[in-house]
Structure 1
């Protein structure tokens, strides 16, 4: 008979740094009295790997599939004792984590289940079969793109496994399709093509138990998610009570009902066009930017902790119903060069969180995806208008000053 007092051995795949696996008070999401952690972390984050719960630490390039697999297999059998769970919260590692679980015979999300939240073709095929309105789409080919373009004003080519709003191409003419195909010859199999939905982009972030939403918060992107390409901030504001919020939450529950075995966290993006809601994509992860801070402020649940709890225990923390106040965030970008001045938010009680990701003297590169920010600031307010005014105040206060440097 197994010892019920034995700590569960958790093999954690990490890219963001081990300091993120705790709350603001320093409480670990994997406390040492219940878990022993075998960490596989990124080479540039190994310095953050501290904690009594850590049993073993290996640092590799986590996006090198062979190096990651070798590290995981080593950690899975550390000291001759088999790991109990394999956990990952970073979007780009979720599918690889599922593959490695399969190799090791560990419980958790399978490859087939992970693909429904990672591969944009698989996810839309699945939801269309369940009656969800999705854009017209196809695996990319020039013929498929031209045929779809003949029936709509524009099409979008994007990587099937993409993240970070990177490599998104809007194609409006047959010549655009040909130019895209010529420029991406070696990668065309990685792309899908879908109808361009000219509407507002929203997202719903949820904590889910067995496909039932326990709490969800909806928000609207004020700016394009690709605003990093223009070095402009990307602002986001929660949707207040009313018919639109009700419709977004109902659509979100319908989508999750198509995943009856799912427990965890979802970040669901959707379009609203002339009152119609159209699915965009869904991930089995916490949203980026200031989503975690806003969700915590309104429900008391840290979404990253909920992801870990779901993967380790099969349950999620029970959130409280969303509070009446609203939240929002702004993601701030800077051009290439050396940052000259510190980035500090307004000294106001309505600032929920400020993630400063660059400091004076840092040499910056031009952002390549929406995650390449210099700062992310989350705020709260009593209404959407108040939240937006406060986000604009942050933007006026935190203007990056960059010099070319030498």
Structure 2
């Protein structure tokens, strides 16, 4: 007599919308024949919760962490059956998910492990113990910042658990340190201070199995990640094969070796100054912007699907070596006002992906972080120069036209 294999019960903590967890063809990352999904999602995204694999859906205010945690607790014991896994893919939820796994006795990343990818002080302390070159840093205090300023050209203050390039301050003299301390006096314990590294910012995006890199692609930020504060596009181009790429990949592997047993996806940023590479930060998630589109184009692997597979099955997809072509993306911002014209990319075969987040008539607010874009366009090319030229073409073609009103 045959029997039906029990599906794995996956509790998914989401804020970006359930339609995100499928590819362009509509294939879901958690198919019905293998998984029963208990979803906790945002009220604003609940209409996307469609699929035979869904056995329960709860929607709450995504900014109410207490409500989110209560919803997870309910879903973890839905109909008296304990969930098998708790999954989260967005950075904001990685630490809460780890806390809930420990509370609910579910397998997966622990709080201590998650903090090494979230808390910028703890992650640098951890890597420094493993011999990785990190900037001088300290939990923020006025004294610590002034001491750092004595040895550096400037001090960077940023939130220890921050994301989206938000609330980053460059303090260049004691007066600026004093002013920052006064301005942020009610939440100084949320910040770290680190020496300003005058170098080019790169990133390496990796699929990792048991701390060994399975596949990785490197990119160079052409513009500062804080360019949203000036409403300028942020462009990024993949690094071509050569000594620079080899050095970035080797440094990336050394950092991941300091996280034994880690399986999943990482977005790792680092500074390059002449031939010196200095750690910036690392996150246990897929990169933003057009990183996912570029990685998919060159390896055939969707990074978010790899995150889910790692958290559910403890493995990552097999990944071929990256294809020879290169990719890049530009993130486009607009100021407050009403968008007057559609954001339409160039009609070119080298455009890989268009993420359009605003349309004519939409009322826009000033961007608060690097994720507050109106469009993200990914392109491909045969060389770094060709990719950059195409990014510039996109930038010029898609300049937002916004009516500021009276």
The TM-score range, normalised by the shorter chain, is over 0.9
The 1-side partners of 2:405 and 2:39 are apart by 37
Q: Following TM superposition, by how much is the alpha carbon of 1:405 offset from its aligned partner in structure 2, in angstroms?
A: 4.4
Structure 2 partner of 1:278: 278
When normalised by structure 2's length, the TM-score is 0.99
Structure 1 residue 162 corresponds to structure 2 residue 162:
yes
Q: Following TM superposition, by how much is the alpha carbon of 1:160 offset from its aligned partner in structure 2, in angstroms?
A: 0.2
Structure 1 residue 79 corresponds to structure 2 residue 79:
yes
The 2-side partners of 1:4 and 1:249 are apart by 45
Alignment of 1:137-216 (within 5 A): 137-216=137-216
Q: Following TM superposition, by how much is the alpha carbon of 1:43 offset from its aligned partner in structure 2, in angstroms?
A: 1.0
Structure 2 partner of 1:106: 106
Q: Following TM superposition, by how much is the alpha carbon of 1:74 offset from its aligned partner in structure 2, in angstroms?
A: 0.7
Structure 1 partner of 2:56: 56
The 2-side partners of 1:43 and 1:390 are apart by 38
SS in 2 for 1:62: coil
- The gaps in structure 2 that reach 5 residues or longer are none
Q: Following TM superposition, by how much is the alpha carbon of 1:4 offset from its aligned partner in structure 2, in angstroms?
A: 7.6
Structure 2 partner of 1:18: 18
Structure 1 residue 260 corresponds to structure 2 residue 272:
no
- The gaps in structure 1 that reach 5 residues or longer are none
Superimposed CA distance per residue, residues 352-377 of structure 1 (whole angstroms, 9 cap, x where no aligned partner): 00000001111100000000000000
Query: In the superposition, relative to structure 1, how do residues 103 and 381 fare at CA in structure 2: closer, same or farther (>3 Å)?
Result: same
Superimposed CA distance per residue, residues 322-379 of structure 1 (whole angstroms, 9 cap, x where no aligned partner): 0000000000000001111111100100000000000111110000000000000000
Q: Following TM superposition, by how much is the alpha carbon of 1:62 offset from its aligned partner in structure 2, in angstroms?
A: 2.6
The 2-side partners of 1:64 and 1:96 are apart by 12
Alignment of 1:81-100 (within 5 A): 81-100=81-100
The 2-side partners of 1:332 and 1:48 are apart by 25
Q: Following TM superposition, by how much is the alpha carbon of 1:404 offset from its aligned partner in structure 2, in angstroms?
A: 2.4
The 2-side partners of 1:62 and 1:252 are apart by 33
Structure 2 partner of 1:324: 324
The 1-side partners of 2:373 and 2:37 are apart by 30
The 2-side partners of 1:154 and 1:18 are apart by 43
SS in 2 for 1:150: helix
SS in 2 for 1:379: strand
Q: Following TM superposition, by how much is the alpha carbon of 1:69 offset from its aligned partner in structure 2, in angstroms?
A: 1.2
Runs of 4+ in 1 over 2 A off after TM superposition: none
Structure 2 partner of 1:290: 290
Q: Following TM superposition, by how much is the alpha carbon of 1:44 offset from its aligned partner in structure 2, in angstroms?
A: 0.6
Structure 1 partner of 2:337: 337
Number of residue pairs matched? 404
Q: Following TM superposition, by how much is the alpha carbon of 1:66 offset from its aligned partner in structure 2, in angstroms?
A: 1.2
SS in 1 for 2:213: strand
Structure 1 residue 240 corresponds to structure 2 residue 240:
yes
Farther off after superposition, 286-295 or 340-349 = 340-349
Superimposed CA distance per residue, residues 94-121 of structure 1 (whole angstroms, 9 cap, x where no aligned partner): 0000001111000000000000000000
Superimposed CA distance per residue, residues 146-200 of structure 1 (whole angstroms, 9 cap, x where no aligned partner): 0010111101000000000000000000011000000001110000000000000
SS in 1 for 2:324: coil
The 1-side partners of 2:261 and 2:65 are apart by 28
SS in 2 for 1:181: helix
Structure 2 partner of 1:393: 393
SS in 1 for 2:218: strand
Structure 1 residue 30 corresponds to structure 2 residue 21:
no
Farther off after superposition, 82-91 or 65-74 = 65-74
The 2-side partners of 1:148 and 1:396 are apart by 41
SS in 1 for 2:126: helix
Q: Following TM superposition, by how much is the alpha carbon of 1:399 offset from its aligned partner in structure 2, in angstroms?
A: 1.1
